[in-house]
Amino acid sequence: MNDFYRHWMKPLLFRFDPEFVHHQTLQFLAWLKDSSCGQDFTRAVFPSTALPTQVCGLTFPNPLGLAAGMDKNGIAIPTWEAMGFGFCEMGGVTRFPQPGNPKPRLFRVPQTEAIINRMGFNNIGADAVLSNLPPQGRPSAAPLAINIGKSKRTPLERAHEDFCYTFERLWEQGDLFVINVSSPNTPGLRTLQDRSALHPILKALVNANKRKVSESVSGHGPKPLFVKISPDRETDQINEIVDLCMELELDGIVATNTTTQRPSPNQGSRPMVYDRETGGLSGQPLRRRSTEVIRQITSRSHGKLTVIGVGGIDGPESAWEKIAAGASLCQIYSGLIFRGPGIIRSIVNGLQAQLRHHDFKSLKEAVGSNRPYQVEPKPLQP
């Protein structure tokens, strides 16, 4: 599957505009979801590997998830699961529908296997998204995370109302929620990471969570709440967010969103698109920084906050790096574009092999272990 994608699919897809390909692919995946044999077909093409893990009281069939931004309106959720993801983070969803920034706003950087985007939270809004989401109590084995952003038209000082509206509207459908205050593509959004701005937002969401529990007829407990942070924050600023999350008893942090920096590649020349296009950079150049942030959160919180690691994962080694640094779960976006969907199985198999090599009985034992990646892990016992 990996070779087929690399040699045939990718050269074809990369001839076209990135957003056009993204749109067409999503429509196809949504069609697979709706067609009667689509799910069976997808499962047959992408046989998944089980590596179950329990995080925040939820059971994940494996620790690799789809990162936010790929399926903003949640139109293909069952297909992502059928492709082998252990969970899917849909969104960012905002209270109001919005078209996002003018096109073009999505750029590939093949030299560094990176993407630059300035999409600007294009989505159909919380009310419309609701009808796309699988019904509550679905038989799905993979948890659904919902990423919430702030509508562009809502002033920063009223951000808490905007976040709370979307959270409450989608509360029954999501298994966990991610508060996105780190997208570089909504003016001023990243200032919401400052303690003075973040405190009222998180407090309002924690209260809304309690309120929803008391009103819920389905008997759900509180939904795990995560904050997604930027890799561009200084050490002190990250510590401040970690401390605030612990103070307000949030469940964890998603580290990290895209960067506005343009880290130079290790080899080769600096791609021209780096300077030409503004927006958030993701993919391989982000890998090292996002792992550093994970390590810092783990150390500052003494492992008390759950970390979802994302940024530059492109195979088993980079996924293991995040787990060993302290992430309980990890996610990919750019790696899926450059390596294709076969990467899902490669990563989960690779993580399993690392557990065997290090004699870990479960993934939990590996989290924060800082064990190095073993290039040729032990073969399976007969």
Ligand X SMILES: Cc1cc2nc3c(=O)[nH]c(=O)nc-3n(C[C@H](O)[C@H](O)[C@H](O)COP(=O)(O)O)c2cc1C
Give the containing element (helix H, strand E) for 261: none
Among 55, 68, 238, 323, binds ligand X (CB under 6 A): 68
Q: What CA–CA distance (Å, rounded) separates 92 from 94? A: 7
Q: Which amino acid is at 26?
A: L
Helix (H, G, I), strand (E, B) or coil at 257: coil
Segment 215 to 234, residues that bind ligand X, using CB under 6 A = 228
Q: Which of 53, 173, 180, 318 binds ligand X (CB under 6 A)?
A: 180
In the complex, least distance from residue 124 CB atom to ligand X, rounded to whole angstroms: 13
Toward ligand X, which CB reaches closer, 182 or 298?
182
Residue type (1 letter), 269: S
- In the shown chain, the binding pattern of residues 91 to 130 toward ligand X, with x for contact by CB under 6 A and - for none, equals xx-------------x--------x-x-x-x---------
Amino acid of residue 8: W
Among 307, 332, 348, 363, binds ligand X (CB under 6 A): 332
Residues 6+ apart with CB under 8 A from 142: 60, 61, 80, 81, 85, 86, 87, 88
**Which residue in this structure is represented by tokens 């074809």?**
12
Closest distance of CB 62 from ligand X, Å: 16
Closest CA to 75 of 34, 30, 119: 30
Residue in 53, 334, 346, 354 binding ligand X, rule: CB under 6 A: 334
- Binds ligand X (CB under 6 A): choice among 42, 151, 154, 282: 282
Q: Which one among 65, 84, 224, 283 touches ligand X, defined by CB under 6 A?
A: 283
Q: How far is the CB of 338 from ligand X (least distance, A)?
A: 10
For ligand X, which residue of 257, 296, 352, 354 counts as binding (CB under 6 A)?
257
What is the residue-wise DSSP string for 322-345? HHHHTEEEEEESHHHHHH-THHHH
167 forms part of the interface with ligand X (CB under 6 A):
no
As measured in angstroms, the least distance from the Cβ of 72 to ligand X is 6
147 is an interface residue for ligand X by CB under 6 A: yes
Q: Which of 179, 286, 323, 367 binds ligand X (CB under 6 A)?
A: 286
- Distance of closest approach, residue 279 Cβ to ligand X, in angstroms: 9
- One residue of 124, 205, 313, 329 binding ligand X per CB under 6 A: 313
Nearest residue to ligand X on Cβ basis: 69
> Which residue in the list 183, 282, 290, 346 is annotated as catalytic?
183
- State which H helix or E strand residue 149 sits in: none
- 38 vs 230 by CB, closer to ligand X: 230
- Token representation of residue 274: 């780096």
Using alpha carbons, select from 67, 296, 101, 73 the residue that is nearest to residue 166. Answer: 73
What kind and span of H or E run contains 376? none
Q: Does 258 bind ligand X (CB under 6 A)?
A: yes
Q: Which stretch binds ligand X (CB under 6 A): 28-36, 217-225, 305-313, 348-356?
A: 305-313
Residues that bind ligand X (rule: CB under 6 A) add up to a total of 28
CA distance 210 to 158: 21
286 CB contacts (<8 Å, ≥6 apart)?
Answer: 114, 231, 256, 258, 259, 263, 311, 312
318 is a catalytic site residue: no
* C-beta closer to ligand X: residue 88 or 142: 88
For position 312 contacting ligand X by CB under 6 A, the verdict is: yes
Residue-wise DSSP of 84-137? T-SEEEEEEE-SS-B--SPSP-EEEEGGGTEEEE-----B--HHHHHTTSPPTT
**Token pair of 44, please?**
């047959």
Q: Minimum distance between the CB of residue 276 and ligand X, rounded to whole angstroms?
A: 17
Q: Does 163 bind ligand X (CB under 6 A)?
A: no
- Contacting residues for 254 by C-beta, under 8 A, at least 6 apart: 178, 226, 227, 228, 229, 307, 308, 310, 331
For the CB of residue 282, give the shortest distance to ligand X in the complex, in Å.
3
Residues labelled as active-site residues: 183
> Which residues contact ligand X by CB under 6 A?
67-69, 72, 91-92, 106, 115, 117, 119, 121, 147, 180, 183, 228, 257-258, 282-283, 286, 310-313, 332-335
